[in-house]
Structure 1
Amino acid sequence: MTAKRPADRPAPIDIVSRLQRVDQSLSPAERRVADIVTADYEAATRLTIAELAARADVSQPTVTRFCRSLGCASFSEFKISLATTLTVAAAYLKSERVFEDDAGQLARSVMTRAAAAVRDCLDQIDSKVVAQAIQALADSRRIDLYGQGGGSAAMIEDAKLRLFRLGIPVSAFVDGHQQRMSAATLQPGDSVLAISNSGRSKPVVEAVEIARSFGASTIAVTRPDTPLAAAADIVIAVTIAEDANVLMPTPSRYAHLAVIDTLAAGVAMKLGGKAREALRRVRYTVARIGIAIPTPSTDPTLLMRQQEAEE
């Protein structure tokens, strides 16, 4: 028989969100306790009930009532819940450097980090492994792309846009169930390209394992010594340190984009005339609806004027 949650206990959410939600319903004395906790969450996990009461200038029973207002049965349960929340949220609860209105300073910071990520990626990648990945993709009858989460999901969509224009059947999957189903339909001559910054996304790892079991070539862009790296045939190992400021962009995205561009350019060169013809047809078709794609030798403005004159 499943034990029922007491009617007065809130739903199980992280303790910081719970504190924000009940703040206005706390008594003045309990709010003083909350102020001490929110001033330094990490320090609060190390305080005894007596120390917290003294800092807030309240009684120990008031601290206990504060804990119960948050849905915790005791001060010990409150400390455990807070410590558990901080294991994944501590970086988000710290104030960061503020750029105020200096957009130029912010732009320099973001773009310097982006350039550094690409340089670090170039220093890390094994050119022989990259060549193997390019050859496998160029030889593929079909390419399926796997990624999950905000960053990796966006990366595989970009890879799809780069590769399908070369005339290769390409699909991108961000749903774990669809990744498994896609992997089960692959066969020798097909390829999978999986992208994961952590290398520990279980659905992606399992889909790569399934694809490999059916004979497909499996390529991973990920960190070394991770489950995904172990599951793939070809591993383009990339480790980019993330910014300590959680409000800044994730620099690994730039490294992954650089790898995708390298692979796509390499595949295009391997395919040669086939890729050029596919790209020509894409360019011609898009130009017919009034979109001029610039090339190194073509001014898109002139291209647009030429089309307008023809119409």
Structure 2
Amino acid sequence: MRIAQAEVDRTLRVAERIHANRPLMSAAMDKIADVLLEDPTAPLELSITELAERAGTSPATVTRFCRQLGYPGYVQFRVGVATDSGRGDTSNSEETWRAEMGRALDPDDTPEDVLRALLNAHVRSLRATADVLDLDIAASVAHQIGAARHLDIYGTGGSFAMAEEMRTRLYRIGVNAHAWGDVHAGLASASILDEQAIAIGISNSGRTRETLDMLDRAKLTGAHTVAITSFRNSPLAQTADCTLLASVPEQYLHPADLSAKHSQLFVLDVLYLLVAQLDYSATVARIAASADAVASHRRPD
């Protein structure tokens, strides 16, 4: 189950939808995406047959592509493209595109430009992640976390920071969670898991060797494995038993930018809250107890 399409689609532009849904696309749809990202206004000049020919695919695939993005058909898709391109209101269209769609940071950007670009990038990442997040899988993973005797969370670099944040939250509400960023320590932990354990690997690219090795070892021991990544077809996703997508529509400066971390944390936050709901009374009691334990270390108002 995904969030109701209408709730998200009214805030997402065509290019954002393409980036967000690309991990879910077939090879044929990928060709259409390439054409449209290179020439965003092509549908305004091309019929469905002509667009299919340019992409080297079929009109039926174009229709499926439109539906994948949340449009009932090609006509509605063209309306979305026309709206985004500013047809009928072309005043300052370049500046509108830059401000709304985002782009790589320029060395001459003002602080206000930087702020706007970053805010737009992060908001788009969260919206795109909400659009592709499979809530049925998320709910299933949350139940498995609640029932597991042991939870390992693997990640390196910035992804380890996300793993450690999740470990702290879950441990506070009674989950036996552990975060591993060092591959040797992670492999040692993964080697003693079993069918009653769950392991989560976090990697934006899905290609980080250390995270792959740790999750693969956990799977060999019988643990249920989960990937959190931006790419459904990545090695990490292919290794895991199930995948939760943390979508990053664009990179503004570096492939490991913070918008990826925000998307990962968003997915982890959903998981945390779903786990917390499993035994709400116990969750509230544990949070209250841990808050009371550190209360004396806070300075009074």
TM above 0.5, yes or no, is yes
Measured in 1, the distance between the counterparts of 2:256 and 2:162 equals 18
| Residue 277 (structure 1) shift | 1.5
Question: In structure 2, what is the equivalent of residue 119 of structure 1?
Answer: 127
Question: In structure 1, what is the equivalent of residue 210 of structure 2?
Answer: 203
Q: How far does the alpha carbon of each residue in 1:62-119 deviate from its partner, in whole angstroms, 9 at most, with x for none?
A: xxxxxxxxxxxxxxxxxxxxxxxxxxxxxxxxx951355x333322221121111000
Does residue 200 of structure 2 align to residue 193 of structure 1? yes
| Residue 166 (structure 1) shift | 0.8
Question: In structure 2, what is the equivalent of residue 134 of structure 1?
Answer: 142
Q: 1:224 touches 1:239 (CA, 8 Å); kept in 2?
A: no
Does residue 255 of structure 2 align to residue 272 of structure 1? no
Question: In structure 2, what is the equivalent of residue 9 of structure 1?
Answer: none
Q: 1:99 touches 1:105 (CA, 8 Å); kept in 2?
A: no
Does residue 83 of structure 2 align to residue 97 of structure 1? no
Measured in 1, the distance between the counterparts of 2:267 and 2:256 equals 21
| Residue 220 (structure 1) shift | 1.1
Does residue 196 of structure 2 align to residue 174 of structure 1? no
Question: In structure 1, what is the equivalent of residue 163 of structure 2?
Answer: 156
Bigger relative contact order, structure 1 or 2 (CA pairs below 8 A, ≥6 apart): 2
Question: In structure 2, what is the equivalent of residue 225 of structure 1?
Answer: 233
Pair 1:219–1:247, CA change in 2 (3 A): closer
| Residue 138 (structure 1) shift | 1.2
Q: 1:195 touches 1:220 (CA, 8 Å); kept in 2?
A: yes
What's the % identity of the aligned pairs?
Answer: 26
Measured in 2, the distance between the counterparts of 1:229 and 1:249 equals 20
| Residue 226 (structure 1) shift | 1.4
Unaligned runs of 5+ in 2: 1-103
Q: 2:155 touches 2:211 (CA, 8 Å); kept in 1?
A: yes
After TM superposition, what 4+ stretches of structure 1 lie above 2 angstroms from structure 2?
A: 102-105, 244-250
| Residue 244 (structure 1) shift | 4.4
| Letter paired with 1:198 | S
- Alignment partner of 2:259 out of 251, 254, 264: 251
**3-state DSSP of counterpart to 2:287:** helix
Coordinate RMSD, CA, aligned: 2.1
| Residue 251 (structure 1) shift | 1.6
Measured in 1, the distance between the counterparts of 2:200 and 2:295 equals 30
| Residue 239 (structure 1) shift | 3.4
| Letter paired with 1:128 | D
Measured in 1, the distance between the counterparts of 2:161 and 2:186 equals 15
Measured in 1, the distance between the counterparts of 2:256 and 2:187 equals 33
| Residue 139 (structure 1) shift | 1.1
| Letter paired with 1:253 | K
Measured in 1, the distance between the counterparts of 2:255 and 2:278 equals 40
Question: In structure 1, what is the equivalent of residue 220 of structure 2?
Answer: 213
| Letter paired with 2:234 | T
Pair 1:279–1:133, CA change in 2 (3 A): same
Measured in 1, the distance between the counterparts of 2:176 and 2:124 equals 34
Question: In structure 2, what is the equivalent of residue 238 of structure 1?
Answer: 246
Larger radius of gyration: 1
Measured in 1, the distance between the counterparts of 2:255 and 2:224 equals 37
Question: In structure 1, what is the equivalent of residue 294 of structure 2?
Answer: 286
